[in-house]
Structure formats: structure tokens, C-alpha cells
Structure 1
């Protein structure tokens, strides 16, 4: 045992080491006592303590007290050391992270992503509640300034998302596009969107927002042409990669796409809007009906007391407590929803009108409203179908023919005959060229739900098959593929009969329309494909069918990948501006147009870059 150890142990107040280190001598009685070992490492004080207890009890008691005091002091020293360590660690914990600290940078990025994904104002970093929340969650983190988020973090997130989109679009041979224009509510900011659509080799439907570009000049056809080509150049997309552009029917947009020398087609939903508008505004009785309904709805819309009273009446009559929707001139289906609500709530409205003076519908007008609803409901079904994310331009020809047939089979048209005739006339006029449009014809033919069943006569079907044969021949020259290579497979089941009048028309057309005889020049895989029954429209998608059958029809599947990539409407681009309206609001009235594009790009493409 070292001298330092002896100094610290209370036992050495009563003993001293002899010349022979193996022994110690009692200071009281001078007895020599073994230290219990032969080397320093094996020495102990057991014998010394025993000697005190048996020979010197008073000294043993003093020794025990000293031992207890030493334990207390050791415990105090340990607690003092622990407190010092805790204080030091606490000081380290509350030390603020540097703005470039890796953990701080990660939080910066998450805040920027939250601002874009949730359409939050950039000023949120200055909001008291948000600041307090973050301080409570992580005291070491300091919120950066709005300028730092705007000029440093957001561009970094934008580039990360853009890089993810770039990986998705690189290597795609053909794109379809949707484009649409938008003006903010204050009329200051104008934008043109561009959304790309394509099918992968596995027939997975993909889309990405490429641009929401601010428009700085008059929206002439020439300027829109220049802007569109500029947006393509930003992604190194060549004009020969553009399969089809879905646009609205405005003259400047039509001219712009024509001058850009890219194939384009009007949005199917927008054209249907024009068709319905032509009919609803044509017959005075229908216009008067809509005007009265508009006044009824406005009464409840602008008076909370009136709405509250109507709800009580609805509850007492056991009717759904629905609000009455207001019609909007730019959305024909809003007129349909208004009429449906008026019919549903006619008893409640009549009961209310007995207490308060409001416009009322006559019995004749109620009958006309029911007939108008019957005419418009098939259009609503189709509008919903073509506005889905999975819709393709192959729906146009079949749906136009189904609408035409459905309208002709509706015989309960007394009081709305002029309106219905005008809708039929407008439908024929605005879609008169659909079977002359190669993109529509080939897309319909390559959709296994339709094939050649929806062409009106033998000459149209022969033209469609000849066009498909020509495209196969062109592709064959490019790929040197064997057009006759196909494996046998079980034919898909025939479609089931849907219930509504619109889908009964669909089923009847399939039953009535036969296939024209095959040409000897037609490649056998085209005959094979067209001879198989169409697949069930409601049970299977054209994308999944081609994914399963692309090896059976290799040439046709390559064409399907191109021609079925185009959506039926420009709705995907219109949805971009639904988010734009949330971004360009009163709390962001000074937001630069370029910053709006950045936020929209991140929001709409964020999921793409994470896949």
C-alpha cells in the first residue's frame, strides 16, 4: 500500500509500518501485527482492525466514526462532481446551433418544404406561435430570417426536386402535355402552366409539372408560342418528342400551338362546357327556370337566419340538411347541382316560402327542372370520368357517340325539346372532326376497352385500321421488329351491362358494331388484337391490360405507350392553379411571380422526387 493510500486511510492514525513492510506496529501497545500479505499488492488492514476491536475498544470506536465521516465526505464529493457535470452538460444543451450546423440545416429544409407543401406564407418564420413551438421542441435551434429561407433554403429544395423530376423525364421518348393559363384574383399575376404526361415501359402513368411560367406580355398567339417553346427548351425536350398538347379552346392558344408546330387538341371537358352552354342558353323556359333557382339559392346564401330556418324545416321533414349550391356561369355542372338540390329540397323550400316571401318554382318549372337534370346527368358522368387522373384521350370518340345516342333515346323532352336539340346540334358541330384526328383515332383503336367498336360505319373502321397498319409499318422500319410475333393467351371476358342509360348505350354500341374484314396487307397481330373481345370498362384499365399483354403485341404496345399517354382534358394543369389561388392570397400579396412558380413546382412535384 502506497504512502498516499496510508495517509488517506484512518487506520494509520493508530499504526505505523515497521522496517519489514509486511508488518505494522500498534502505537498504543507496540505489538507487531501482520499486514496479511507478502507484497504491496496483497497487503490489507483486516488484522489491524481486528487488533483495535479486541485490544483497544475506545480506539476502535474512534476509528469507526472516522470511517463513517470519510464515507459522507466521499458521497459529498461524488454529488458535487455529478452536479458540476450536469451543469456543464446543461450549458452545452442550451448552446444555440450555428446556422450552418448540419442538424439546423435539416430543420431549415423541413420548414421550407412545409411552407411549399402546405401553402404557408413565408412570413410564418416571424409568427409568434410558430417561434414558441420550435423553441419548446428544440431550444438549441434558432429560426432563420424570412430572407434566408427565401434566398437560400427554398432554392436548394427547388433544385433537389427539379433534379428528381429530371431523373424521371430523362430517357422518355414521347410526352403529352396539358397547358392552361391563369390570372390571380387581383389581376396582377398571369401564368402559363405546362404539365408533362407519359407512360413508362411498364405502362405506369406518370406526370410532372414542368413550369408555371409568369406571362409578362399580351397573350397573343405569337407570345404563347414563344413561351411554350421556351418551357420545352428548359427541359431539353425537342418538338419531335411532343405527341399531343391538351389546351383550352381560346383562339390565342389554338394559334400559339399551331405556330409552335406541335399537335394539339382542345380540352374535352372545356368543349363539353361549350356544348351545354349552347343548349342552356338557347331555350327561354330553361333560362327563366335557372334564373328563378338562382334567386332562391341567393336568398339562403346571403342570410344566415334564412339558412338556419331552412335547416330546421329540413330536419322536421326528415330531409338531408344540405346547403343549396349556387350556380356559376363558367361551370355548367354547377347548374346541374343547383337543380338537383332544388328538387331534393322542394318540400322544405315550399314550407319556408309559406312563412317568408321568396321566389317559387311553378309545377311546370319543377317538371322542366327534372327533365333538364335527366339530360345533363350523362354529361356529368362523362365529365367525372374524363377528369380523373387515369383518363386518356381514347375516351373522346366513344363518349361523344354515347352522348349522342343517349340524347336521342331520351323521349321525355316536352318543354325542353329546343334545348336538347341545340345540345345535339352543338355536340355534332364541335366534335365533327374527331374521326379525322389521327391521335384520337389511334388512341381509341389502341384502347382495349373500345378498339374499333365506336366508329360509326365500315368506312371509318377501315380507315382506322389502315392508319394503325401504317403506323405499325413505320415503327417496323425503325425497330426492325417481327410484326407476326405473338404468343397465344386467354381472351379477356366480355364487358358486363352497366345500369344507367348512358352505359346501356355503351353496351348496345358494342353489341351492334361489328368488325370489318381484315385486309390481306394488315399484319396478323393487328387482326389478332382487334378480334379479341373488348375488356370491361369498369373492371380493368387500358394501362394494366397493356402491361400484361405488351409481349403478345410488341409493335402495338409501343404505339399504345405513345398514343394513350395523352389525358382527355387539361384538368391536370387547371388543378395547378387551384393551389396557385391558395398561394397568391392576401397574406402573400407581395410574392414575386418567380417565387410563386418555385413554391408550386415544389408542392406539385415533391412526391415524384421522393420515389
Structure 2
């Protein structure tokens, strides 16, 4: 028996402690480690937040004395009540932030709510926080996540109260697993520092028929709930007749997505030449053969290795994404030797035919013809793409299609080339008559007036000044006809022998258009007209530079125009942002979780998208 060294309050455990330290070194070290874990798991005061020394830094002594180079533990005695309480209550101040973080993890990482019932996750949390009591699945789904949704919603409402203008993208989606339909509503705006901001306001459950009246009602309801009825500059949608009519019948200004229009132009152009369409269809059959046979994939992989080709799988095209057709043809061209060898080696056992030399040539010419469209599609699909890019990119594509080098290189698909040219002129020329596009192009320091025809420049100028007067209400409009000088001679250009040559050809078109000179205006002007002339006289910003950063640096040089730029440059170049939202919704509504109620799915998508954007500060 070890004496306590006294009785009553004078008694202590020092004798016991010394005995353990001298005679039971290993047991004493384990005891100290346990004390450290308890103190680190109880952050009730400043002392408990001190981090204990790592256990491996303590070397047990076999001689009964503490080594001179050992480190001292920082320990704190636990509270008395902690010794009797096995688990923290669910509403304990120590439990709440942990539960909040778990709910955030579920939303951001698209984890099922049932993860709180998983044995492995519970075991991990037991090791990290032994006193933490895991909440039930029902508590997380019905209490915690709705609370986070309301808190984040309030934060975004506060952000919106500080801005005067937002642009919207919207789309509709039906989940094939449970046939629930949703309407997306995402907003975009430029803050005072010209930083482009994005938020998802709603992925609203949509019941009833998908007609224009119902969609319009939902638009108005969402805008009213978020108090942005008078702040919406433009709503960008796809080309569906129902949603286009819904916006047209609403109080809002709407525009069609540029990429959806481009999709239709390319789809129709490839069908103009039946042999081109047949070559692509035959290529599709080859891809489908490999995608439906593991044995064929294995043989194909061995052939790729023998021929020292990249071990890439063939790409299947999707009818709603024209560029997937381009990627399919590009991969077929890359793997032409492997495909030909596989088909010749297995001609008796497979039911597919190789492409003829004529068909391979047609695919090669299609790739040259469509490569610039693929580059433009990727640029406009970017998160930071702006509506100001639509007219310049259209002009660049039109100029590319009429280049002599392109006509010579793509002679076998000349009908498709002409159909692309005519389709762009017919469908995309409407953008030049729409002020939201023309003014945005003018306000983009990469383009300004250089991508308009001489006849169009005075009209664009008048539209801008009139719009400024309308929005300012205290400025006089001054518009004057201007004459364009002759454009300079085209820049030198090499032939189209590779993808790099095609890339250079496309952006040579940009240089030719961007180098157009603007005439000087000599008549007296109003302050906004003078500022406009000074702005146009500045050299163009490089096409790879960010227009938002330029305006952030130059907003004090052009204070009147910067207010207009904040409005017109807030609109994205396409509705891709809303489509990506539904890709996230597809991850939420995975096959094992297809019975999730629409309101819970809306909360999870809202948190998944917006939490990282606000840096989890809400």
C-alpha cells in the first residue's frame, strides 16, 4: 500500500505519482498520454487549448530517473463533471460545430446523409473525439442541413443587397431516376472591385406542365423571394421555345445561349453533305463496338501497345454536345492504325467495317474545319466567359471560313464549310442588332469598336449613349456619324498542315479584326461622349487578358463608363453555368439515393455550390 502522505485535505497523490514514476515507468508514461488526450479533447478554457507534446517525444526511463533531454507535458486537470459524462449532448456547445462541419462535408462532397450511420465513420469520430455523440440521420437531414441552408441564404441575401444589377442563367432538368423536374436560377454580378461573383439562388422543384406560363410564374416568384425583381439585367437560357417564351412574357429581358445556337449551326452543316454524315455514323459504330465489348477493349489495348500509340479509349459522341462529335473524330484519327489492324485481324468474327480512305479523308478535313469552333466553345464555356465575347468570336469564325487556305485544305467538305458560313450569318447576325451584346462588346477593352462593320459603328455609339442617358437620367445624348478608315492589309499567314496551323489561322483572324483603326471625333461632346472617345483611343487589351481586372484598375479613369461596364459585363456568354448545376444535382441524385425529396435535394445543391464560394463564412 502506498501512503497518501497525510489525511483529509492535507493528503495528496504525490507519493503514488513518485512511486509510479520510479518503479513503473511504462505505466506512468501511458497515464500521462491518457491525461494529455483528455486535456486536448476538452477545450473549455485557454489552458485546455494548449497542445500537448507528442507522445513519441517522451522517452521512458529504465533507470528510474527522467532523461535530461525529455520534454515536459502541459497537462490540465479535467473538470469534475467531465469524469461522469460519457458523451456530450447533441446541443452541447462542443458538439454543435462538429455536427455543422459534418453536415457541410455531406453537402460539399456529395456524401449520403446516412454516412452518420456508417461504422467506419463512427469509428473514426470515436477516435478523434471520444466524447462526441454522432447525431442521427433524421436530425442531420431535417434539422442541421435546413439550418445551414437558412444561414447561408441570409448571407447571400446580404450580398445581393449591396449590388444593383445581376444577370441570370436558367435551365430545366428532369431526373430520370425519379422523374422529378427542377428549374435552375443562378446569378452573376460584378462587385465594386470588378470581381465576377456567382451564386446559385435556387434549384427549384417544378411540378405541372413545362409550358411558358408556369415557367414565367416561377421566374417571377424566385425573383420576388430574393428581392431582385428590379435588379435583373438579363436572363440567359437555352433555345427551348417554352423557356424563351416564358422570359419574353415576363418583366425581364432575355437572350438565347450562344452555344446552343452554335450547336444547331454545326449539326445542320454536317448533314448538308451525306457522305460526311455517313463517315461520322460509321465511326460511331466502331466506337460503339469497343464500348460494348471488354474483350475487344483488351485486344485493342494490346494493339496500341504494339504500335506504340497512346493507350486512349475511343470517345462516344453525345447528340446534345456537338464538340463530343469532334472529340470522337479526333480520337478515331489518332487511333486509325490500331483500328485498321484490329478490324483486319478480326474481320471474320466482328460485324463492323473499317472506314474507307475517302471517309478517313473526310474526317480529317472535318477536324480542320471544326477545330476553331471547338476552341471557341471551350472559351465560351468557361466560368469567366462574358457575353461581350459572342460578337467577336462570331466574326473570327466567319473570317476563318472564307480564308483561301481553309478553302484549299477543306475542299472535300466545302459544302459543309459554306453551310457553316451561312448558318453563322443567318442565326448569329441577330446579336449585332441587340444592344446587350453590342454595348457589352464595346465595353470590353479587348474588343471595343474594332469588331463592328463601319456601317454599324455609329449605331453602336448611339445605342451606348442612349442607354447611358436612360440609366443616368441627367445626361444629354450626343451621337455623331463616324467614318471608318480602311482596314490594314492582312497579316501574313501560313498553310493549314497541323492543328497548330489551324489554331494560328483562327487567331490571325482576331489580329486582323482587332487592328482596325477608329476615326477621331473633333466635335464638342458631353462628358460621357468625351470619356467614350478617350476609352476608344486607348490601345486594345490583349485577348488573353482579363477585362474585369482592367476595369478594376481603370475605373477611376473612366468613372461614367465603369458603371455601365459593371452592368453589361456581368452577363455570362452562355447558360453553361446552369447546366453544370444539374450535373451536380445528378451527383446528389445518384441511383442509390433517388428517393431524396426535392426540397432536400435543393438544400444540398444550394450548399454544395455556394459554401465554397463564400469560403464557408456565413
Q: If the TM-score is normalised by the length of the shorter chain, which range does it land in? A: 0.7 to 0.9
The residue number in structure 2 matching 1:242 is: 232
The number of residue pairs the alignment matches comes to 525
Structure 1 residue 559, shift from structure 2 partner: 0.5
CA deviations over 1:324-373 (Å, ceiling 9, x no partner): 11111111111100111111111111121221124201111111001101
Partners of 2:554 and 2:388 in 1: CA distance: 18
The residue number in structure 1 matching 2:456 is: 460
Structure 1 residue 136, shift from structure 2 partner: 2.5
The verdict on how the C-alpha distance between 1:191 and 1:521 changes in structure 2, with shifts beyond 3 A counting, is: farther
CA contact (8 A) 1:165 1:608 kept: no
| Alpha-carbon RMSD | 2.8
TM-score by length of 2: 0.80
The verdict on how the C-alpha distance between 1:288 and 1:95 changes in structure 2, with shifts beyond 3 A counting, is: same
2:376 aligned with 1:386:
no
Corresponding residue SS for 2:564 = helix
CA deviations over 1:486-518 (Å, ceiling 9, x no partner): xxxxxxxxx99996211111111223x332453
2:558 aligned with 1:553:
yes
The residue number in structure 1 matching 2:542 is: 536
The residue number in structure 1 matching 2:57 is: none
The residue number in structure 2 matching 1:329 is: 319
Corresponding residue SS for 1:182 = strand
The residue number in structure 1 matching 2:441 is: 444
Q: For residues 305-344 of structure 1, what are the structure 2 equivalents within 5 Å?
A: 305-344=295-334
The verdict on how the C-alpha distance between 1:478 and 1:595 changes in structure 2, with shifts beyond 3 A counting, is: farther
CA contact (8 A) 1:496 1:536 kept: no
Which residue of 514, 518, 529 corresponds with 2:517?
Answer: 514
Partners of 1:427 and 1:545 in 2: CA distance: 30
Q: For residues 145-544 of structure 1, what are the structure 2 equivalents within 5 Å?
A: 145-238=136-229, 240-357=230-347, 358-409=352-403, 410-411=406-407, 412-456=409-453, 458-478=454-474, 500-511=504-515, 513-518=516-521, 520=523, 522=525, 523-538=529-544, 540-544=545-549
Partners of 1:76 and 1:515 in 2: CA distance: 93
Structure 1 residue 75, shift from structure 2 partner: 3.7
Partners of 1:144 and 1:348 in 2: CA distance: 56
CA contact (8 A) 2:438 2:460 kept: yes
Partners of 1:479 and 1:94 in 2: CA distance: 72
Corresponding residue SS for 1:416 = helix
The verdict on how the C-alpha distance between 1:437 and 1:76 changes in structure 2, with shifts beyond 3 A counting, is: closer
Structure 1 residue 478, shift from structure 2 partner: 4.5
Which stretch shows the higher mean deviation, 306-315 or 336-345? Answer: 306-315
Partners of 2:178 and 2:424 in 1: CA distance: 33
Partners of 1:479 and 1:200 in 2: CA distance: 24
Partners of 2:424 and 2:415 in 1: CA distance: 14
Partners of 1:280 and 1:595 in 2: CA distance: 43
CA contact (8 A) 1:584 1:591 kept: yes
Structure 1 residue 473, shift from structure 2 partner: 3.3
The verdict on how the C-alpha distance between 1:304 and 1:94 changes in structure 2, with shifts beyond 3 A counting, is: farther
Partners of 2:14 and 2:580 in 1: CA distance: 73
The verdict on how the C-alpha distance between 1:405 and 1:604 changes in structure 2, with shifts beyond 3 A counting, is: same
CA contact (8 A) 1:476 1:555 kept: no
Structure 1 residue 108, shift from structure 2 partner: 1.1
The residue number in structure 2 matching 1:576 is: 581
Partners of 1:473 and 1:531 in 2: CA distance: 22
Structure 1 residue 79, shift from structure 2 partner: 6.1
CA contact (8 A) 1:94 1:139 kept: no
Corresponding residue SS for 1:500 = helix
Corresponding residue SS for 1:120 = coil
Structure 1: stretches of 5+ with no match in the other structure: 1-6, 9-72, 482-494
